[in-house]
Chain A
Amino acid sequence: MSEKESLHSLDYSVLQQCMHCGMCLPTCPTYDETLLERNSPRGRISLMRAIADDKLEVTKAFGEEMYYCLGCLACETACPAGVNYSHLFEVARAEIEQAHVLDNPERSVIRSVVLRGLFTRPRVLRFIGRLLWIYQASSAQWIFRALRLNRLLSRRFQNLEAQTPIACAKFSHQLIKEIEQPAKTRFKVGVLSGCVQDVLFSDINRDTVEVLLANDCEVHTPPVQSCCGSLHAHNGDIETAAQLARRLIDLFDVEKLDAILTNAAGCGSHLKTYDRLLADDPVYAERAATWSAKLKDIHEWLAEIGIRRPVQTEMPVENKVTYHEACHLCHGQKISKQPREVLRAIPGLKLIELPESTWCCGSAGVYNITQPEMAAKLQKRKLDHIVSTGVGTVATANPGCHLQLVNGARRISHNLEVVHPISLLARAYRQERGH
């Protein structure tokens, strides 16, 4: 969406495209839970249409409904008519913010600190990440928990404290040079290091670069990158999302690179829509279009150029892995086969399919913080399926899902390795090199 869109100004055919056939209902996690039409994609679209038709105002109930939606986009996969729900969803949430129907002091403070303060300033985010790392590495967290100081926190913060992710010791730019060259160069690509990914999973970024080098790609990784703005676009702050998009585009030589790559599903799904986001921007529209055309998910790119299978160095020990599909990869970007291709390219690794692999795990951006109850139900459902496979390793390609699965396993004291598919491939290349 562009910055000025509203439900009223939307090309009406976007709303009208929904023929209310109901095929989205069985794929919607919130409808599945409540069996109420209002909590379904078709119900939500009918409310948006009522607003566009002036039969309903933007009310608090509408606001709550649109924030009860996970934005998992399973409905888009199921929709026979090709309704662009993610677009409608973003426009609706932006309109809710403009109408201030959900405002309360706590929410406003959190929104302004998190969305406008933290996630627009990569250096501040890194500073927080560093504090978190010190807190954890210095045993302060252990002491805090051992002394049960968490009991001093409110119930909600107790839950959040228990979910505190483990920060990485180093950030991406400490692990990745601005330009890294392979033995021979077939392609030149840019790599997005992300914001959360940079603080919590910089090792995955390093793995991504190594995999690309092993596949003859020269890798360009600007050292300080800001958030891609997906968090903002999905939470009704389109203006900030557009600012962040411009900043990110400025960091890359869009014309010269063959592709710009991301390893985080949630980011990729949004990064690909920069063309629409900046369509009305006279300076950026053209570059944004090129950007969107070249923006690829890492698995998508590898499948496109052909994955070089790592050479098997030792006798294979058969390892098993199962794969949880991040919503914004399988539904948001329709990338489902490619991550499996990546996993199957690894010698000695057997992929065991996960039941309901495309069902949301409840992470959904900040959903697990804003809607803890529903998020916990989905987390349990996902973990139950993972446990049922009997496999000790689950691969997934999105930081939100990654954390949700780690926390879910901890909740039920289940020993589970959560890993990015690209990290598994990187390990295989390292073995090949004898590391």
Chain B
Amino acid sequence: MANSGAISLFSNRFPSIACLTHKEDIIPYSFDGTAVLQNLPLAVVFPLSTKEVQDVVGFAVENRIPLVTRGSGTGLSGGSLPVEGCFVLCLSKMNRILEVDDRNLTLRTEAGAITAHIAQAAEKVGLFYPPDPGSMKISTIGGNVAENSGGLRGLKYGVTRDYVMGLEVVLASGEILFTGNKCVKDVAGYTLRDLFIGSEGTLGIITQVLLKLIPKPAARQTMLAVYSRMEDAAETVSAIVAAKIIPCTLEFLDSVTINCVEDYAKVGLPRDAAAILLIETDGHPIAVKEEAALMAQLATKHGATSVRVAETAEEAANLATARRSAFSALARVAPTTILEDATVPRSELVKMIRFIQQTSERHQLKIGTFGHMGDGNLHPTFLTNERNQEEMHRVEIAMKEIFNYAVSLGGTITGEHGVGLAKKNFLSHALGELNISVMRKMKSAFDPLGILNPGKIFDLKS
């Protein structure tokens, strides 16, 4: 069908669904949070209800128009990047939080609700929604579920998947599926909801989410430890885990990042430091106090050159500044910032960090590494310029080497950003052909015509 024909047909049939087609309106939807990638959609549509999503899906299937679902467009792997000739199905206006159930500790919301608003709604009744991806102030819960987003609290509290109890999904067939319920235990049949978590909009369109909440921890303690050798930082992490303490935050900055942070925020970090750990524990006040004291001891014992424990909430916020400004500090250094998320088992962290540093030297690239030391999720951040083709070529080679090495250590190419388009080429090496072929079968079972976010994660044909 001719493009303009499809648009006027859609507008005539569904006059109540906003549909943007002018260049000035759709250029701002031609990208997400991923560096370099850009693609113009045919149109952007804004359904306001599950019924309207159903209408859009039915229309797309009938007219063979690819459908790319999008929330706030903060993804870092191109998951919501438009594909050629597609409709972008934007759920940002379906943003109502429908129910907070403090008897069952659940929250039901439309998919376009902002993650931070969900956390606030839980907090209002003394409950806690732990997943805190970096973009939570604007990311939508639907996007978080579709990408199975992580965050800083992964070590103790897990990731988005661990809080999804149920999903409402519009299938490519146009039917509305609800999978899951408020029961903590439920083994009736396949757990279909798990299939949609992390499916990046390729299996169905998530329109509602039922989330698990937990009681809010009563106390929190923060400390910052500085190291002159990275191995000492890693040893401290191992010692903390061996002491049977699970901190809620165990964040790490490498020397490149430390220097960028110091250039930008001037928080008084030693420039010759090799690593910094930001450690936070939360829970019952007495337990928190004991754990904090013990962790400070362990840090000193394992070679920390300084350990500062926050006395007040304000001081805690100050200590966290270095970690919190890491990304900002790196992003200012070069025109293009590519944030990766290679992840390895905790025990292999030092090897992985060393390898990244060597790779950066070998290819003469600037890479700052920070990340979640507690769960092995690293963020090697390439500071480059997309207009410098020769350098971008070296970036690609370095990235490939880093992913291969992570896989060789028993790790993964993406800990929390998803595959989308950015990591698609690395997936078969990471998972092997059998995994991919099972995924293909699943994809064709749910979406036989390949309408939903086609070309993401893997291609339908090898």
Contact residues of A with B, CB < 8 Å? Answer: 12-13, 16-17, 19-23, 25-26, 35-38, 40, 42-44, 46-47, 50, 55-56, 59, 61-62, 65, 80-82
Q: A19: which B residues are within 8 A, CB to CB?
A: 33, 35, 331, 336-337
Q: When the two chains form the complex, which single residue of B25, B72, B328, B385 contacts A80, counting CB atoms closer than 8 Å?
A: B328
Q: When the two chains form the complex, which single residue of A16, A36, A56, A80 contacts B23, counting CB atoms closer than 8 Å?
A: A56
Query: B281 on the interface (CB 8 Å rule)?
Result: no
| Alpha-carbon separation in the docked complex, A19 to B327 (Å) | 12
| Alpha-carbon separation in the docked complex, A65 to B20 (Å) | 15
Q: B337: which A residues are within 8 A, CB to CB?
A: 19, 81
B28 touches A46 (CB 8 A): yes
| Alpha-carbon separation in the docked complex, A40 to B24 (Å) | 12
Interface string of B128-140 (1 = CB under 8 A from A): 0000000101110
Interface string of B301-330 (1 = CB under 8 A from A): 000000000000000000000000001100
* Contacts known (A19-B331, A81-B332, A82-B331); A46 close to B31, Cβ less than 8 A: yes
B25 touches A36 (CB 8 A): yes
- Min CB gap B42→A, angstroms: 16
B336 touches A61 (CB 8 A): no
- Min CB gap A185→B, angstroms: 33
| Alpha-carbon separation in the docked complex, A50 to B24 (Å) | 9
Q: B25: which A residues are within 8 A, CB to CB?
A: 36, 38, 61
Query: B424 on the interface (CB 8 Å rule)?
Result: no
B: number of interface residues (CB 8 Å): 35
| Alpha-carbon separation in the docked complex, A65 to B24 (Å) | 9
B336 touches A12 (CB 8 A): no
User: What are 19 contact pairs spanning A and B, CB under 8 A?
Assistant: A19-B337, A20-B31, A22-B73, A25-B72, A26-B137, A26-B138, A35-B95, A36-B20, A37-B29, A43-B27, A44-B28, A47-B28, A56-B24, A59-B24, A61-B22, A80-B327, A80-B331, A81-B328, A81-B331
Q: When the two chains form the complex, which single residue of B31, B135, B386 contacts A16, counting CB atoms closer than 8 Å?
A: B386
Could you list 4 further interchain pairs (A-B, Cβ under 8 angstroms) beyond the known A21-B74, A82-B328, A82-B331? A22-B139, A25-B138, A35-B95, A38-B25
Q: A17: which B residues are within 8 A, CB to CB?
A: 332, 335
| Alpha-carbon separation in the docked complex, A62 to B33 (Å) | 23
Which of A19, A25, A38: most chain B Cβ within 10 A? A19
| Alpha-carbon separation in the docked complex, A47 to B27 (Å) | 7
- What is the chain A residue whose CB lies nearest that of B34? A20
A61 touches B24 (CB 8 A): yes
Q: When the two chains form the complex, which single residue of B20, B27, B137, B138 contacts A50, counting CB atoms closer than 8 Å?
A: B27
Query: B30 on the interface (CB 8 Å rule)?
Result: yes
Interface majority SS on B: helix, strand, loop or mixed? loop
A35 touches B137 (CB 8 A): no
A23 touches B24 (CB 8 A): no
Query: B387 on the interface (CB 8 Å rule)?
Result: yes
- What is the chain A residue whose CB lies nearest that of B73? A22
- What is the chain B residue whose CB lies nearest that of A55? B27
B73 touches A12 (CB 8 A): no
Query: B114 on the interface (CB 8 Å rule)?
Result: yes
| Alpha-carbon separation in the docked complex, A155 to B380 (Å) | 58
Q: A65: which B residues are within 8 A, CB to CB?
A: 24
| Alpha-carbon separation in the docked complex, A55 to B38 (Å) | 13
Contact residues of B with A, CB < 8 Å? Answer: 20, 22-25, 27-33, 35, 72-74, 92-93, 95, 114, 116, 135, 137-139, 327-328, 331-332, 335-337, 385-387
B24 touches A47 (CB 8 A): yes
Q: A22: which B residues are within 8 A, CB to CB?
A: 33, 72-74, 135, 138-139
Q: When the two chains form the complex, which single residue of A21, A35, A43, A82 contacts B33, counting CB atoms closer than 8 Å?
A: A21
| Alpha-carbon separation in the docked complex, A21 to B136 (Å) | 11
- Min CB gap B261→A, angstroms: 12
Q: B116: which A residues are within 8 A, CB to CB?
A: 26
Q: A36: which B residues are within 8 A, CB to CB?
A: 20, 25, 28
A23 touches B331 (CB 8 A): no
| Alpha-carbon separation in the docked complex, A13 to B73 (Å) | 22
| Alpha-carbon separation in the docked complex, A56 to B25 (Å) | 12
The 5 A-B pairs at the shortest CB distance, nearest first, are namely A43-B28, A37-B28, A80-B328, A81-B331, A61-B24
| Alpha-carbon separation in the docked complex, A21 to B76 (Å) | 8
* Contacts known (A37-B29, A50-B27); A16 close to B73, Cβ less than 8 A: no
Which of A13, A22, A44, A50: most chain B Cβ within 10 A? A22
Q: A47: which B residues are within 8 A, CB to CB?
A: 24, 27-28
Q: When the two chains form the complex, which single residue of B23, B135, B385, B386 contacts A21, counting CB atoms closer than 8 Å?
A: B135
- What is the chain B residue whose CB lies nearest that of A82? B332
- What is the chain A residue whose CB lies nearest that of B23? A56
- Min CB gap A48→B, angstroms: 10
B336 touches A16 (CB 8 A): yes
A56 touches B27 (CB 8 A): yes
- Min CB gap A92→B, angstroms: 13
| Alpha-carbon separation in the docked complex, A422 to B107 (Å) | 48
| Alpha-carbon separation in the docked complex, A19 to B335 (Å) | 8
- What is the chain B residue whose CB lies nearest that of A35? B92
Q: A46: which B residues are within 8 A, CB to CB?
A: 27-28, 30-31
Q: B387: which A residues are within 8 A, CB to CB?
A: 12, 16
Q: A44: which B residues are within 8 A, CB to CB?
A: 28
| Alpha-carbon separation in the docked complex, A435 to B76 (Å) | 63
Q: A35: which B residues are within 8 A, CB to CB?
A: 92-93, 95
- Min CB gap B40→A, angstroms: 9
- Min CB gap B48→A, angstroms: 11
- Min CB gap A60→B, angstroms: 9
| Alpha-carbon separation in the docked complex, A23 to B72 (Å) | 10
* Contacts known (A19-B33, A19-B337); A38 close to B332, Cβ less than 8 A: no
- What is the chain A residue whose CB lies nearest that of B75? A22
- What is the chain B residue whose CB lies nearest that of A57? B23
Q: B335: which A residues are within 8 A, CB to CB?
A: 12-13, 16-17
Which of A16, A38, A56, A65: most chain B Cβ within 10 A? A38
A37 touches B331 (CB 8 A): no
Q: B327: which A residues are within 8 A, CB to CB?
A: 80
Q: B137: which A residues are within 8 A, CB to CB?
A: 23, 26
| Alpha-carbon separation in the docked complex, A62 to B28 (Å) | 12
- Min CB gap A81→B, angstroms: 4
Q: B385: which A residues are within 8 A, CB to CB?
A: 13, 16
Q: B33: which A residues are within 8 A, CB to CB?
A: 19-22
- What is the chain A residue whose CB lies nearest that of B44? A37
- What is the chain A residue whose CB lies nearest that of B327? A80
- Min CB gap B313→A, angstroms: 16
- What is the chain A residue whose CB lies nearest that of B92? A35
- Min CB gap A384→B, angstroms: 18
| Alpha-carbon separation in the docked complex, A25 to B331 (Å) | 18
| Alpha-carbon separation in the docked complex, A138 to B31 (Å) | 60
- What is the chain A residue whose CB lies nearest that of B35? A19
Q: B93: which A residues are within 8 A, CB to CB?
A: 35
